[in-house]
Amino acid sequence: MGLFKAGSMVYKPVKEVDLSRESSEFYLHANVKAPRMAGILVKIFAWFLESRIFGTFLLYILKGNNLIHKLIRDAELEEPPVYNPLHPFEDLKEQDVTCIGSDLTPSEQVKLAVDCLPVSSGKTLNGSDLHFRRWTISDYSRAYSCGEITPLVVAERFLAAVGESSKPPLQMSFFINYDAEDILRQATASTHRYKQGLPISVLDGVPIAIKDEIDCKPYPTTGGTKWLHKRRPCTDDAHCVERLRLCGAILVGKTNMHELGAGTSGINPHYGATRNPYDPSRISGGSSSGSAAAVAAGLCPVALGVDGGGSVRIPASLCGVVGLKPTFGRLPHTGVLPLNWTVGMVGILAGSIEDAFIVYAAMNGELQLHPSPTLPKICFPLLNKTTPINIKLAKSVEWFNDCSDDIRTCCNNALDKLYKRHGWKTVEVTIPEIEAMRLAHYLTIGSECSTSLSSHLQKMNFAELGWDARVALAVYGAFSGKEYIKAQQIRNRQMQFHKNIFSQADVIVTPTTGVTAYSILNDALKTGELDYVNGAALVRYSIAGNFLGLPAVTVPVGYDKTGLPIGLQFIGRPWSEATLIHIAFAMQALCISVYKKPEVFYDLLQKNEVHQEICEAKELNGTRPTSGLNV
Ligand SMILES: *[C@@H]1O[C@H](CO)[C@@H](O)[C@H](O)[C@H]1NC(C)=O
Ligand SMILES: *[C@@H]1O[C@H](CO)[C@@H](O)[C@H](O)[C@H]1NC(C)=O
């Protein structure tokens, strides 16, 4: 990457950096210097940071120790800053896609997406070699259409399940807010539509949960805090939520999240630590913790999250579900808390890639985040093709390997399967300056977060904030203009490196996280915790998706020795969601036979075989809804 001069980094010009496997660029392991803190220690630490004299001194030491001075503030770089990761739309000419018109309604788009799915018989687990799979949108839609169950019954089961999971002994803390009356009202309307034979789309009557950072009537938008909603009332649905409502989805409440999205554990001191359905003594990951855990536990096939630094992909990976973060600017962002402007994106958590695709199709279009000169075309992957597409994967070996042994082995096995089954080759490359990018992103998201909240923070009583959020805000507030701009120069370099990698391969492949779900310790429950070592391992592979605006998807590929889920991530070219969905679909098909049922799981459809047979018989006579998993 360059050389250290008098303790600070002198970066080589981008064009002199060698990105091949044999490159002499070294991989700098994250060298986080901060002990884990919780309980009284976090409080003392926050007090020190907030005190004018000690705080300034302490922050200076912390930034220095954690290489922010060396790699960013004092670094010498010649590239000008790039402030915004919005990529001009380029027609990628992706393989096996169909591009849709720009004048369609959300439900028409959903219909076209469903048409791209392979037709399967909708068989349940009986008679197949699957251990476990979650019910998909198509399963719900089929069960409603043939009268096997109604949305109202599903809503009642949902409410009972959330009630049970919220209370001791489970205390899963999936939701911040849900309103039984509102849910039953939506379910009754949907039931009525099915009775008349007029469902709006396959999403009609399907429960979908929303991260409490996205506006959704009739709920306040707390952002995981006890105060933000009092100062910023929610007056309308966010655009993405409105589009789902237009498709008939039942919006089942607001999911728990890390306070202000300012952390990755999902431990929220006000609304409880979201627990991992695969092991309730462990974290679910964050910040979209409740959305991931609710999907994993079977409470809804899909939930929305927001991903500013891996916040969708990290909890998806830790909870064993799919996480899709589209290209920056792809989905409408109106009605999402503006906690930052250039790194966050609405994302989707789902039990299967098909369901992530259907919801992506529903939300896509209209009102881009920033008007782009050429409006990006919307293309859908033809997953019904039997001949697979041809893909080349890029892997930066040292970075890829910087994770736990179980994760490395499991992710490498998954790549072997892709190679054996589809012949997809992996080219080895070097992606330099990963740690500098992580720090530059941290400076950026932190500066944007403290700026966006500044008018509130001046007036507020800090006692309303959790302790770990107070520490985060103190650190965020200490970044300088110079540091921010240097970070954007790093952004420019990385945009160029990645462009170069994408001229050699279609996607970059990495594990999704460096560690699996770690334990929730009791001292963290009231104060939150600071665990920057685990935090850095969780975000290790997420940053390019946010800082560079690239689309990315995580797919569950297996479990570690203790049975905790492991995700594999594919990062794509700007606007290449269709290809990413294709790849994720192929990966899922090769791993689905090992999927396991979580310890905490609710079966909202509770298929009963007699009903099923009636249903199958009816389907044979009429027009059969297309479906779900092709197994
Ligand atoms: C796949 O889906 C597309 C889009 O709906 C359709 O036009 C095409 O005929 C389908 N192909 C197959 C092999 O089913
Ligand atoms: C940045 O914004 C995104 C989306 O608004 C959110 O998910 C994330 O938590 C935010 N992070 C911070 C540190 O503000």
Using the mean position of ligand 2's atoms as its centre, give its distance from the Cα of residue 259 in Å.
10
**pLDDT tens digit string along 235-277?**
999 999 999 999 999 999 999 999 999 999 999 999 999 999 9
Residue 610's pLDDT is: 63
Kindly name the residue from 107, 265, 284, 287 that is annotated as catalytic.
Answer: 287
Q: Which of 495, 520, 541 is the last residue of a domain?
A: 495
**Both 355 and 233 in a single domain?**
yes
Q: Is 260 left (phi over 0), alpha (psi -120 to 50) or beta?
A: left
Count, in order, helices (H) and strands (E) of the chain: 23, 21
Q: Indicate whether 610 belongs to any domain.
A: no
Cβ contacts of 611-616, under 8 Å, gap ≥ 24: 611/148, 611/149, 612/124, 612/148, 614/146, 614/148, 615/142, 615/143, 615/146, 615/147, 615/148, 616/121, 616/122
More confident of the two residues 508 and 332: 508
Q: Is residue 11 part of a domain?
A: yes
Do 158 and 25 belong together in one domain?
no
pLDDT surpassing 60 at residue 126: no
How many whole angstroms from 547 Cα to the centroid of ligand 2? 12
92 CA distance to ligand 2 middle (Å): 29
Per-residue pLDDT band at 629 (split at 50, 70, 90): very low
Q: Is 211 a catalytic residue?
A: yes
| Residues 104 and 117 reside in one and the same domain | yes
Q: Is 18 in the pocket of ligand 1 (CB under 6 A)?
A: no
- Measured distance CA(81)–CA(495) in Å, rounded: 11
Question: Could you tell me what percent of the chain has a pLDDT over 90?
Answer: 82
Residue 307 maps to a domain: yes
Cβ 340 under 6 angstroms from ligand 2: yes
382 ligand 1 Cβ < 6 A? yes
Residue 227 shares a structural domain with residue 335: yes
Query: What region, left, alpha or beta, does residue 300 occupy, with left being phi > 0 and alpha being psi -120 to 50 degrees?
Result: beta
Residue 149, domain CATH? 3.90.1300.10
Query: Of all protein residues, whose CA lies closest to atom 3 belonging to ligand 1?
Result: 116
Question: Does the pLDDT of residue 437 top 90, yes or no?
Answer: yes
Determine the residue of 384, 582, 627 to mutate for testing ligand 1's pocket, defined as the one with the most ligand atoms within 8 A of the Cβ atom: 384
Measured CA to CA, the distance from residue 300 to residue 121 in angstroms comes to: 22
Both 453 and 562 in one domain: the answer is no
Identify whether the C-beta of residue 536 lies closer than 8 Å to the C-beta of residue 32. Answer: yes
Residue 604 inside a domain? The answer is no
Whether residue 343 sits in one domain with residue 252: yes
Is the C-beta atom of 184 inside 6 A of ligand 1?
no
Q: pLDDT class for 403, splitting at 50, 70, 90?
A: very high
What's 502's DSSP letter?
A: T
Sequence-distant (≥ 6) Cβ neighbours of residue 366 within 8 angstroms: 239, 243, 332
Indicate if 450 belongs to the active site.
no
The answer to whether residues 146 and 179 belong to one domain is yes
Distance CA 294, CA 204 (A): 19
Q: What ligand is nearest to the CA atom of residue 381? A: 1
| Per-residue pLDDT tens digits for 600-622 | 999 999 876 666 666 777 666 65
Query: Residue 612: its pLDDT value, please?
Result: 67
Cβ(20) – ligand 1 distance below 6 Å: no
447 flagged as catalytic = no
- Could you give the CA distance from residue 279 to residue 277 in angstroms, rounded to a whole number? 5
What is the mean predicted confidence (pLDDT) over 143-161? 97
First to last CA, the chain: 46
- Counting from 1 in the atom list of ligand 2, the atom nearest the Cα of 338 is 5
* Per-residue confidence (pLDDT) for residue 373, from 0 to 100: 55
Asked if residue 566 is part of any domain, the answer here is: yes
- Report the pLDDT value the prediction gives residue 620, as an integer from 0 to 100: 63
Whole-number mean pLDDT of the chain?
Answer: 92
Q: Is the alpha carbon torsion for 236, 237, 238, 243 positive or negative?
A: negative
Q: Do 160 and 107 sit in the same domain of this protein? A: yes
- Cis bond before residue 80 (omega within 30° of 0): no
- The alpha carbon of 583 and the centre of ligand 2 are apart by a number of angstroms equal to 27
Which run of H or E residues covers position 294?
Answer: helix 289-296
Decide: 394 and 540 in contact? Cβ < 8 Å. no
Q: What tens digit of pLDDT does each residue of 443-480 get? A: 999 999 999 999 888 888 888 999 999 999 999 999 99
98 Cβ below 6 A of ligand 1:
yes
Query: Which residues partner with 569 through β-bridges?
Result: 510, 554
630 touches ligand 1 (CB under 6 Å):
no
- Look at residue 365 in the predicted model and tell me its pLDDT: 79
What confidence score (pLDDT) does residue 431 get?
A: 96
Structurally, how many domains does the chain consist of? 2
CB of 384 within 6 A of ligand 1: the answer is yes
Q: Which of 479, 495, 511 is the last residue of a domain?
A: 495
Q: Whose CA is nearest to atom 6 of ligand 2?
A: 308
Q: What would the mean pLDDT of 549-554 be, rounded to a whole number?
A: 98
Whether the full predicted model's pTM is greater than 0.85, yes or no, is yes
Query: pLDDT value at position 631?
Result: 30
Please enumerate in sequence order all residues whose Cβ is within 8 A of that of 130, keeping only pairs 6 or more positions apart, or say none: 592, 593, 595, 631
In a domain, 606, yes or no: no
CA distance 175 to 192: 27
The answer to whether the CB of 285 falls within 8 A of the CB of 315 is: yes
**Neighbour-count burial of 621, counting CB atoms closer than 10 A to its CB (0-12 exposed, 13-18 middle, 19+ buried):** exposed
Catalytic-role residue among 165, 201, 291, 311: 311
Distance of CA 488 to the CA centre of its chain: 23
Instruction: Confirm or reject: Cβ of 346 under 6 Å from ligand 2.
Output: no
**281 occurs within a structural domain:** yes
- pLDDT average, residue stretch 77-89: 94
Q: If DSSP codes are grouped into helix, strand and coil, which group holds residue 110?
A: helix
Q: Which amino acid is at 502?
A: F
Question: Contact at 8 Å (CB) between 372 and 486?
Answer: no
Residues 304 and 356 in one domain: yes
One-character DSSP codes across 511-546: ES-SS-PPBPPTTHHHH-EE-HHHHHHHHTTTHHHH
Residue-number span of the structural domain to which 452 is assigned: 3-83+435-495
Using omega within 30 degrees of 0 as the cis cutoff, is the peptide bond preceding 287 cis? yes
> Where is the domain boundary, 448, 480, 495?
495
Helix (H, G, I), strand (E, B) or coil at 155: helix
Question: Within a 10 A sphere around the Cβ of 124, how many other Cβ atoms?
Answer: 15
Residues 474, 384 share a domain: no
Token match 């997809």: residue?
424
pLDDT at 293 over 90: yes
Q: Show the CA angle centred on residue 496, arms to residues 492 and 500, nearest 5°.
A: 170
* 586 assigned to some structural domain: yes
Q: Distance from the CA of 354 to the center of ligand 1, in angstroms?
A: 15
Same domain, 34 and 172: no
Same domain for 18 and 146, yes or no, is no
Taking the centre of ligand 1 as the mean of its atom positions, its distance from the CA of residue 291, in whole angstroms, is 32
